[in-house]
């Protein structure tokens, strides 16, 4: 497995690759959710490329960025075991040589909803870094989790709108046996809070309405950012012990995005 800390080395290597390239962008602190994307990527392509980059432009709170878990050595061992060919670990200065002076704007129709509404600048940061990464990797396919659904549909829209030559492959959410969606942020929870956090999925799947689901969460001491339904799915974001968790589930067999 090649690990590229500078883009120059990767660009040279990329010119030498002739087969199909699959790409999984991540912010590291890897878990089985990420590995499910990697496994699919490896199966469907000749070369599997993963990036690990904690993207500063998508964090609207400095404290959240600072405490975001970083576990590079373990991540690399997991990717090596997972049969990944190339890992890009670029620096922020190489990714943003002119600071964050140019950025993309999401569709206003989604910009007022959920993550975009509660984390100003989040979708701009995601779109901007993903466009940069797509131009760096030149992948045939790129793999994104449904766990971050608003991010997924925003990237799909960006690819359509700007005619980007990459196929986006959505991948289902991987959960703990308790139902808790796997997330890097779960590492920041104590063992007791992790048990408690499974209540998020229970409320999402058992609340008869969004108001019911919110009520269940509040009764269980979650601080709720939102419970909303769009595109045949129910979405939630809530804080537990100061850690912000998100999840979503289909509410009908027809997805409508």
- Closest distance of CB 257 from ligand AMP, Å: 15
- Closest distance of CB 138 from ligand AMP, Å: 19
Residue pair 160/167 in contact by the 8 Å Cβ criterion = no
- Closest distance of CB 85 from ligand AMP, Å: 18
> Which residue in the list 2, 31, 34, 138 is annotated as catalytic?
34
Where are any strands of DSSP class E within 146-187?
Answer: 167-171
- Mode of pairing for the β-strands spanning 21-26 and 141-145: parallel
Distance in angstroms (rounded) separating the CA atoms of residues 238 and 33? 20
Residue closer to ligand AMP by CB (options 115, 225) is 115
Residue closer to ligand AMP by CB (options 124, 183) is 183
Active site residue 230: no
Residue ranges binding ligand AMP (CB under 6 A): 26-27, 33-34, 36-37, 144-145, 147-148, 171, 173-174, 181-184
Residue closer to ligand AMP by CB (options 154, 173) is 173
Closest CA to 51 of 117, 132, 160, 106: 132
- Closest distance of CB 150 from ligand AMP, Å: 10
Buried b (16+ CB within 10 A) or exposed e, 115-132: bbbebeebbbbbbbbbbb
Residue closer to ligand AMP by CB (options 36, 154) is 36
Where are any strands of DSSP class E within the chain?
Answer: 2-4, 21-26, 47-52, 86-88, 97-100, 141-145, 167-171, 223-230, 233-240, 243-250
Catalytic residues, by residue number, are 34
């Amino acid at each position: 497995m090649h690990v590229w800390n500078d883009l120059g080395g990767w660009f040279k290597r990329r010119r030498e690759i002739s087969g199909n390239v699959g790409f999984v962008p991540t912010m590291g602190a890897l878990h089985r959710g990420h590995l499910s994307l990697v496994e699919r990527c490896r199966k469907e392509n000749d070369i599997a490329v993963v990036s690990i980059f904690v993207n500063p432009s998508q964090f609207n709170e400095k404290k959240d960025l600072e405490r975001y878990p970083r576990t590079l050595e373990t991540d690399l061992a997991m990717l090596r075991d997972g049969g990944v060919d190339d890992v890009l670990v670029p620096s922020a200065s190489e990714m943003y040589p002119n600071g964050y002076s140019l950025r993309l704007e999401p569709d206003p129709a989604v910009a007022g909803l959920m993550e975009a509404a509660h984390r100003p600048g989040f979708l701009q940061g995601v779109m901007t870094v993903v466009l940069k990464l797509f131009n760096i990797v030149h992948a045939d396919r790129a793999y994104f989790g449904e766990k971050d659904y608003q991010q997924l549909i925003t990237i799909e829209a960006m690819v359509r709108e700007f005619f980007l030559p990459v196929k986006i492959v959505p991948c289902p959410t991987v959960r703990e046996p308790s139902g808790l969606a796997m997330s890097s942020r779960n590492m920041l929870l104590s063992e007791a809070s992790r048990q408690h956090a499974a209540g998020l999925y229970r409320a999402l799947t058992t609340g008869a309405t969004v108001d019911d689901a919110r009520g269940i969460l509040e009764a269980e001491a979650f601080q709720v950012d939102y419970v909303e339904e769009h595109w045949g799915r129910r979405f939630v974001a809530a804080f537990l012990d100061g850690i912000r968790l998100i999840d979503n589930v289909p509410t009908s067999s027809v997805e409508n995005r």
